[in-house]
Amino acid sequence: MDMDATRKLLLLARRPHDLDTLVIAGVLGQALEAGRAPLIRGLAEARFQRLINEYFVDLALENHASECDRGDDEFEDLLQLLLDHRSHPNETSAWLAYAVASAAMGENHLWQDMGLPSRRHLSNFMISRFGSLAARNTGDMKWKKFFYRQMCERAGVPICKSPHCADCCDYAVCFGPEDDGGPA
Ligand code: SF4
């Protein structure tokens, strides 16, 4: 994984060792490396600029958000799940929810899509910022799988092949190791 964009962002960070900063820099860095726009989905330019000013010094960056950003994926549902579970229901936590939901639309393990150094960083971040949601992941399920199960439970849609994970033939898919470059 090319971390150059994230590293450059961290050089301009107000609090480069702060976990929230690692998340924002990682998500932005991954989007920049991939040439994606908007960098964080759903955040209007004014909100994005307040985020940039909160985390960085002298960084000129635009989100390039537009009304056409709404895709046919699960972004909005996941965003709402995260917003509802913010440990602190403030604007900072909202920015972080948008960042996580944006990154989660990627193809890899979530911690990789978020440009974080390890899965442990992601788990610590989830406990800190989305505590009531993280507390439900009692089996240390892969984070993306866990999100999707939560969304399906909310919607009353049973996508799982078994009512209980322990009896499910996909157990290894949902709970297997998440430290390699394999699918999310
Ligand atoms: S292990 Fe099976 S039941 Fe559990 S979340 Fe995965 S697919 Fe659903």
- The whole-number pLDDT of residue 184 equals 55
The set of protein residues with a Cβ atom below 6 angstroms from ligand 1 is 145, 149, 160-162, 165, 168, 170-171, 174
* Ligand 1 midpoint to CA 22 (Å): 30
Mean pLDDT of successive 10-residue stretches along the chain, which has 184 residues: 81 97 98 96 96 97 80 87 97 98 95 96 97 95 94 83 81 80 53
- The whole-number pLDDT of residue 72 equals 67
Q: Whose CA is nearest to atom 4 of ligand 1?
A: 165
Give domain status of residue 164, yes or no: yes
- The whole-number pLDDT of residue 12 equals 97
Q: 54 is written with which tokens?
A: 């909160």
Q: 168 is written with which tokens?
A: 């499910």
- Among 136, 159, 160, the mutation site with the greatest number of ligand 1 atoms within 8 A of its Cβ is 160
Q: Which atom of ligand 1 is nearest to the CA of 169?
A: 2
Vertex 95 angle, CA 90 and 101, to 5°: 125
Distance of CA 99 to the CA centre of its chain: 5
- The whole-number pLDDT of residue 69 equals 64
Q: 13 is written with which tokens?
A: 């960070």
Residue-range definition of the domain harbouring residue 122: 4-175
Give domain status of residue 181, yes or no: no
The amino acid at 24: I
- Among 142, 144, 145, 147, the mutation site with the greatest number of ligand 1 atoms within 8 A of its Cβ is 145
- The whole-number pLDDT of residue 180 equals 63
- The whole-number pLDDT of residue 68 equals 61
User: What is the domain count for the chain?
Assistant: 1
